[in-house]
């Protein structure tokens, strides 16, 4: 790929997140275009594609033939097989979190990416959001002793567009948990181990034990009342306390940044990135360990 070549993105998925974040985010990215959309609903795929100058495809091989990179906005049990197929076809990948729901599948996805040599990123929103990235850079270098993250989501409310079957089945640990884990990992260092406890239905409490001695906690749910909905993250240490500027996060802008960074990786051949598939697998392993602990424990 030359510096003057536009990276042709294909989008897999036609749901709310695909329509409102992935499609417009890719279309706004410098050096990228939305060339094709594929999903089970061909009419919906065609409608999204038409809004951004692309085409809707009902055959996945035809879809792959039209693109250089694939962005995924599908459930984590659907994503891996299509992503592995895309990587084998030499397509760069912009994956959703969590990138899979079990460690073995995550390992296969990492192996497929690395054996093909394609660029791949996992869309951990805050790692691409300009205000959050600026905050991460500001807190770098300080010795933070601990942190807390609360993601109180209301996605399971009847009228919420994110009230989808996979979220009802897997809950906050797997949907919002990746954000909390990766943010705390980014600021306090790699997570060596996790302790997980279940609160009320779909409330998960995590204690993360970081290499270097710091510890952090997370409270995760998709069943919070609307009045309590929101995310907060705080670090504490000798410098005092600091909070992530979460109110300034715009998911579509973050998607645009992610697409542009994938374009840069495709152009330069660089594969190291804070949100690469190895980071995705590291986060997956923490979530899977937490899930095993929850499954082994008694539920209220």
pLDDT tens for 227-256 read 999 999 999 999 999 999 987 789 999 999
CATH number of 130-248: 3.30.360.10
Could you tell me the pTM of the whole model?
A: 0.95
Q: Could you state, in order of their start, the residue ranges of all structural domains in the chain?
A: 7-126+251-273, 130-248
Percent of the chain with pLDDT over 90: 94
Strand partners, 7: 32
What's the length of the chain? 300
Three-state secondary structure call for residue 136: helix
CA distances from 177 to 151, 171, 181, 218 (A): 8, 9, 6, 8
Contact 1, 230 (CB under 8 A): no
Q: What are phi and psi of 109, to 5 degrees?
A: -70, -40
Contact 140, 186 (CB under 8 A): no
Q: In what order do the strands lie in the sheet with 32-38?
A: 55-57, 32-38, 7-12, 69-72, 92-96, 120-123
239 Cβ contact partners less than 8 Å away, ≥ 6 residues apart = 142, 144
**Does residue 140 carry a pLDDT above 90?**
yes
CATH number of 7-126+251-273: 3.40.50.720
pLDDT tens, residue by residue, 6-18:
999 999 999 999 9
Helices (H), 241-276: 251-268
Q: How many CB atoms lie within 10 A of CB 137?
A: 9
Q: What is the mean pLDDT of the chain?
A: 95
Three-state secondary structure call for residue 53: coil
Q: What is the DSSP letter of 197?
A: E
Q: What are phi and psi of 102, to 5 degrees?
A: -150, 155
Q: What pLDDT score was predicted for residue 4?
A: 55
């Amino acid at each position: 790929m030359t510096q003057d070549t536009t990276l042709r993105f294909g989008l897999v998925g036609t749901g709310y997140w695909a329509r409102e974040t992935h499609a417009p985010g890719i279309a706004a990215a410098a050096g990228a275009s939305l060339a094709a959309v594929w999903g089970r609903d061909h009419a919906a795929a065609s409608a999204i594609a038409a809004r951004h100058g692309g085409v809707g495809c009902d055959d996945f091989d035809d879809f792959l033939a039209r693109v250089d990179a694939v962005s995924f906005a599908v459930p984590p049990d659907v994503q891996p097989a299509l992503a592995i197929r895309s990587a084998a076809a030499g397509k760069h990948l912009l994956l959703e979190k969590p990138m899979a729901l079990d460690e073995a599948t995550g390992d296969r996805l990492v192996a497929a990416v690395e054996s093909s040599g394609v660029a791949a990123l996992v869309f951990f929103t805050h790692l691409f959001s300009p205000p959050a990235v600026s905050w991460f850079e500001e807190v770098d270098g300080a010795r933070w002793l601990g942190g807390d993250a609360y993601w109180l989501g209301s996605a399971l409310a009847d009228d919420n567009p994110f009230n989808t079957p996979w979220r009802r089945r897997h809950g906050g640990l797997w949907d919002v948990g990746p954000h909390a884990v990766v943010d705390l990992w980014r600021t306090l260092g790699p997570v060596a181990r996790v302790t997980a406890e279940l609160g009320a239905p779909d409330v998960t409490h995590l204690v993360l034990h970081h290499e270097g001695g710091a510890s952090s906690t997370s409270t995760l749910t998709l069943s919070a009342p609307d009045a309590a909905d929101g995310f907060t993250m705080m670090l504490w240490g000798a410098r005092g306390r600091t909070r992530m500027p979460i109110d300034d996060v715009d998911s579509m802008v973050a998607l645009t940044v992610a697409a542009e960074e994938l374009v840069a990786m495709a152009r330069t051949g660089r594969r190291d990135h804070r949100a690469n598939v190895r980071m995705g697998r590291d986060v997956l392993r923490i979530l899977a360990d937490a899930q095993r602990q929850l499954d082994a424990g008694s539920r209220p």
